[in-house]
Amino acid sequence: MNLQKIDKYRPNLHFAPKENWMNDPNGLVYFKGEYHLFFQHNPNDSVWGPMYWGHAVSKDLITWKELDIALSPDENGTIFSGSAVVDWDNTTGFFPEEPGLVAIFTHHKDGAEGKPPVQTQSIAYSHDQGRTWIKYDGNPVLRHETKVDFRDPKVFWHEDKWIMVLATGQTISFYSSFNLIDWQFESEFGEGAGSHDGVWECPDLFKLKVENSGEEKWVLLVSIGDNPQFEVGSRTQYFIGSFNGSTFVTEHNDIRWLDFGRDNYAGVSFSDIPREDGRRIYLGWMSNWRYANQVPTHGWRSQMTIPRELSVRKINGSYIVIQRLVKELDSYFSLQEKLDDIHINDVETIKVDARYMDMVFELENMNAKKYGITIHHSENHSTTITIDTISNSLILDREKSGDISFSEMFSNEQVINLKSNDNIQLRIVVDSSSVELLVNDGEYALTSLVYPDKACDSISIFSLEGDVKLKEGNVYVPK
């Protein structure tokens, strides 16, 4: 196989498997100086198939080392999504000498003779920092007699017990346990709340600080599977509310999307980040079920987003989730160009020519009907971000971004409806096959795959039918 062809789209800043298929991040946990990323993996093909847990570790969230497969199918089924925790106090009895890792995951067994599949929750534990795993003899530890969709457990310690957040069809169910083995049903959330355009998957529940206040809010993430009736594919919503150890209550009725791009799905947060660090760090699968099996990579498929730090911001009386790329990313860049107070009434172009890049622009609209940024990947390929001041929207257009032949939907515009467009801050990270955009210091996120000839040759700032001012701009290239 042509190695150049294999590596043409391989990312520099994002985790991708060495070979074959990857989807949802699983078991995100920090332990003894390492960030662990487990992931849905088919080690035998570069399309979705029988699921295993792949495994990678990192010291800094950006550079990852792929390890041996962690969990393989057995008599209870294949290994679907789940989470991992550190059992600090030996609640399981598996760690009489020192704390270790416990994985909580879904066993998926296809139904026989036309019967529906069976999904149950199981556990495994590791005494050697996740390098080898022992499956619990009493698996599965949780089953349901009637629910077909019963999967993706996210577990965390709350006050004096373990809480499991579980996807159960069109709802999220909450269970509690004192030992990760014996589980008790607590409550169910979802009826009449949020979007039900597809099956609910990959939940996560955590508490976040509200910026510039002493307030805290609980946030529930829910990913929604692909529904062919809609031209968006899979995506992720969130709810802000309260949790009392048994029941989650949302405090809003509107639908809130975590990401306005097509390519951020099934994301969850890391467990056991040290208290002195204090961050809630999130990572998503950078793809979309509508075309995940068809993207034009060879020998490997899929990558993860750059990890992001989450918080909550109160804007005009409403609470929203804020995403910022983790600070560890900054050490991979050096400043190439600093721009201040540039008046633009047509196009301003900056030469870059980099394998990957980061840019932060603060733009003030004077009287332009449209303005924005074009990423010129190569002479023939470009991705354009346009702010339309008439419709008050931001549009990412990847129709000319490179190979789009594998999906009719891939070239559709990706749109953010803005509250204001007079002053806008854009942070854009471009890698070999992706564009990650954060707007107004993380108020909006738009994550998008692209498949150009190369990452970036130059960038242009443009204005149409009027003027715009680049108040401040920084362009960063690899160190």
| CATH number of the structural domain spanning residue 361 | 2.60.120.560
Same domain, 133 and 167: yes
Q: What's the rounded Cα separation, in Å, for the pair 164 and 140?
A: 15
Same domain, 383 and 261: no
Same domain, 316 and 340: no
Same domain, 374 and 389: yes
- Whole-prediction pTM: 0.95
Token output for 203: 């939940």
Q: Domain range for residue 123?
A: 3-325
CA angle 380, 383, 389 (to 5 degrees): 135
Same domain, 183 and 262: yes
pLDDT value, residue 1: 45
pLDDT value, residue 227: 84
Q: Which of 276, 301, 325 is the last residue of a domain?
A: 325
Q: Which of 267, 296, 325 is the last residue of a domain?
A: 325
As a whole number of Å, the CA-based R_g of the chain is 22
pLDDT value, residue 5: 54
Handedness of CA 343, 348, 350, 356 (dihedral sign): positive
Q: Which of 24, 149, 152, 358 is catalytic?
A: 24
Residues in the chain: 479
Same domain, 90 and 223: yes
Same domain, 355 and 400: yes
Of the CA atoms within 13 Å of residue 256, those in its CB half-sphere come to 21
Same domain, 355 and 454: yes
pLDDT value, residue 6: 57
Same domain, 353 and 446: yes
Same domain, 420 and 459: yes
Q: Which of 310, 325, 340 is the last residue of a domain?
A: 325
pLDDT value, residue 436: 98
pLDDT value, residue 4: 53
pLDDT averaged over 10-residue windows placed end to end, the chain, 479 residues: 67 97 98 98 96 98 98 97 98 97 97 90 98 98 93 97 97 98 98 93 97 96 89 92 97 96 97 97 97 96 98 95 98 95 93 96 95 96 96 97 95 93 92 98 98 96 95 96
The letter for the amino acid at 107 is: H
Residue 24 bears catalytic tag: yes
Same domain, 300 and 341: no
Same domain, 242 and 262: yes
Q: What's the rounded Cα separation, in Å, for the pair 434 and 441?
A: 20
| CB 25, CB 283: distance < 8 Å | yes
User: What is the domain-level CATH number for residue 205?
Assistant: 2.115.10.20
Q: Residue 10: how many CB atoms within 10 A of its CB?
A: 16
Q: Structurally, how many domains does the chain consist of?
A: 2
